[in-house]
Amino acid sequence: MQINPSISKSAQFGNLRFPVREDYVKYFLDSGVVATEKDLWKSDKFVSLIHRHWHGEGRNGCIFALLAARKPDEIGWKDFVVTGSIDEIESGDTETLLKNLITLAISDPNCQVLSLLFSNIYTDNDLVRLIRFLLNMDIVKLVDEQEIDDLVTLSLRIPLNSDNVLSWLMAFGPYDYFPQTRQSPITEVAIRVKTKPDIQFHRLNKDNFAAHLADLPLEYKDEVMEKTWENTLKRTRYILGEEPNQFSAAKTTFILPIKIWKSLI
């Protein structure tokens, strides 16, 4: 199944339009493939399809990600859907499941990126509880927390090997305080599960102790990489409505209002 281009697209940035969570719900209900919204967000198949479609539409600003999302199997971009509520996530065996899944992805030669999709996490309270749940996992490290005006930025990392190479986690989700390029229909934590390749595009970060989503090897010619890089910067600025900053930067995993972040302390 593919999502038809006729899907409603409620988010608009100039001449660019993108679907939001409610648009996907309406599309699937109108198509008759699910009877209720609950059925949609409980379906691994449909959640994965929505995830790939949203990234493939390019709202995250990165054209490299857009291209990768359109051929995820070839690239090695895998996803895992967690359909449980936050109560179910906290009380079940989800922690062990995710730790094993991440460990396997790191060792899997065919996996470059692992996206964890939490389809029934969509409220402020759920998000805070999910972040604290992740931070209670011994493989997830909070390396930086900064308060800027009324917002807080959180930088989460996962060690990839014994040499202390750290994967920079990137989060997306249906939260209006996320940067526009991170406002996706599904709460997602994307993890780069491989260290940097031997040959890299010259504009990428060269810190070998940091693993970024941008390190994903796409194997395009240099002139294509250069043009795609330039277009990514333009598209990102266009969607953000400003220059990329600390809130939208790859080093930041989550951004929340301080009062929301501290609501469960």
Residue type at position 173: G
- pLDDT attached to residue 229: 77
- Please count the CA atoms within 13 angstroms of the CA of 154 that sit on its side-chain side: 22
Strands (E), the chain: 11-13, 16-18, 77-82, 113-118, 141-148, 151-159, 166-168, 170-172, 187-192, 210-211, 254-257
Q: How far, in Å, CA of 80 to CA of 107, rounded?
A: 16
Residue 30: which residues within 8 A CB-CB, separation 6 or more? none
Give residue 183's pLDDT: 97
| Alpha carbons 49 and 132: distance in angstroms, whole number | 27
pLDDT at position 63: 82
Residue with tokens 């780069």: 192
Averaged pLDDT of the chain:
91
For 196-240, what is each residue's pLDDT tens digit?
Answer: 876 665 455 656 677 887 777 777 677 777 888 788 888 899 899
Q: Whole-angstrom Cα distance, residue 159 to residue 187? A: 22
pLDDT digits (tens, 9 = 90+) for 182-196: 999 999 999 999 988
pLDDT of residue 258: 97
Nearest CA-CA partner of 178 in 61, 25, 94: 61
146-152 — which CB contacts under 8 Å span 24+ positions? 146/246, 147/258, 148/246, 148/247, 150/257, 150/258, 150/259, 151/177, 151/247, 151/255, 151/256, 151/257, 151/258, 152/255, 152/256, 152/257, 152/258, 152/261
| Residue 256 structure tokens | 């929340």
The model's pTM is 0.94
Indicate the residue type of 224.
V
Mean pLDDT, contiguous 10-residue spans, the chain (265 residues): 94 96 98 97 98 94 85 94 97 94 97 97 97 96 96 97 92 97 97 81 61 74 79 88 83 96 82
